[in-house]
Amino acid sequence: MAPITAGPGGSTGAPLDGIVVADFSRVLAGPLASMFLADLGATVIKVERPGTGDDTRQWGPPYVGSMTTYFTSVNRNKYSLVLDLDDAGDLGLARKLVSRADILLENFLPGRLARFGLDAATLTAIHPRLVYCSISGFGSGAGANQPGYDFLVQAVGGLMSITGQPGGEPVKVGVALVDVLTGLHATIGMLAALRHRDATGTGQHVEVNLLSSLLSSLVNQGAAFVNGAGVPRAMGNRHPSITPYETLETGDGPLAVAVGNDRQFASFVRVIGRPDLADDPRFASNSGRVAHRGTLVSELQVALQTDSAAGWSDRLRQAGIAAGPVNALDAAFALATELGLDPTAEFPAPAGGTPIATVANPLRMSRSPVRYDRPPPVLGADSDRVRDWLASS
């Protein structure tokens, strides 16, 4: 066994080396946040229920070996510790873990951990250097008792109302995007709180909720609404403020085109054989193109019928225009591989097991790269090791 220093994994030399995270979160937003901390070198001890563990351990198919791919997507580089908080001995270990932690991360319904004495008010009073991060669906006030799942928040938070075809059924994003955004916001909050603690010696309570995270992520659509521009509606793949910035039909399928300014528009129409469109008063400026979107798109799609989506992609990219086919995931990962972006991180098979691939962390750091030290853990795989570490103090 490696020597015990900051945590059961020992020293890593990574940016968050020496930071111990007591991770009481489950499902997606919290585990994603703690995985990013673990990728950066933090020792993350994932506390799980006896018998079932994290909910996503049962969210299959698909599976890789005996694990669901949902679970493996957000739980690499962690240690799994099984604790029953209703058991006095295990609760004592949970409190001891917190005493040795720099961060506690949880996403229980607000107030639920108070009955175990693991709430923010209790623990930050006992451990003033602790950064305590809470993730909820709708905050700790009037919405405290409302469970928050990504799909629900996409619906009530307005995202579905601006996703899909005009006049069609509201559509959710194809992944749990609100959970992902909330996990990233939680990561930012925890890192900022650590920086503040290093400067002042005092931790704090960081709170983030799915609804607020979604509303902040509406960016231009949200800003337009709060400044009186009306309630936006679904526009399919079109952009409310830029044209052409959408999918256009070619000779064999859709082509995604993102033209961000007048100079790019002039280059775009020159490549497709319609340079005259840049001189048309209706299309010479972006505001004019937005106002005459339907007429312009009709002209563009006639010209684009003369070649394939792949053919136009190559020609437009050579001219510095952002364009490309609408890829499925196989082509998307192939593209990232072709560009040298190394989109996956793979772990060898444990004895008698199956190799596990995870999607790589997108951070590229020149001096302290992210690490991929441990595959997503089997439930309770590290319980004995972590209990020994806790007993050693």
Pairing of strands 322-325, 254-258: antiparallel
Q: Where are the beta strands (DSSP E) in 203-355?
A: 205-209, 245-249, 254-258, 322-325, 344-347
Pairing of strands 103-106, 131-136: parallel
For 135, the 3-state DSSP assignment is: strand
Sheet containing 103-106: which strands, arranged edge to edge?
A: 78-82, 43-48, 20-23, 103-106, 131-136, 205-209
- ∠ CA(137), CA(116), CA(30), 5° rounding? 35
d(CA 260, CA 286): 8
DSSP state of 326: -
Token code pair at residue 387: 């209990």
Phi (first) and psi of residue 104, to 5 degrees: -115, 130
Q: How far is CA 201 from CA 4, 69, 121, 144, 188, in A?
A: 24, 40, 17, 30, 19
Full DSSP string of 166-207: TTS-----SS-HHHHHHHHHHHHHHHHHHHHHHHHS---EEE
Residue whose structure tokens are 């997108």: 362
Is 119 a catalytic site residue?
A: no
Token code pair at residue 166: 């005009």
**Secondary structure element (H or E) that encloses residue 275, with its range:** none
User: Catalytic: which of 39, 54, 119, 179?
Assistant: 179
Round the CA-based radius of gyration of the chain to a whole number and report it. Answer: 25
**Secondary structure element (H or E) that encloses residue 38, with its range:** helix 29-39
Active site residue ranges: 179
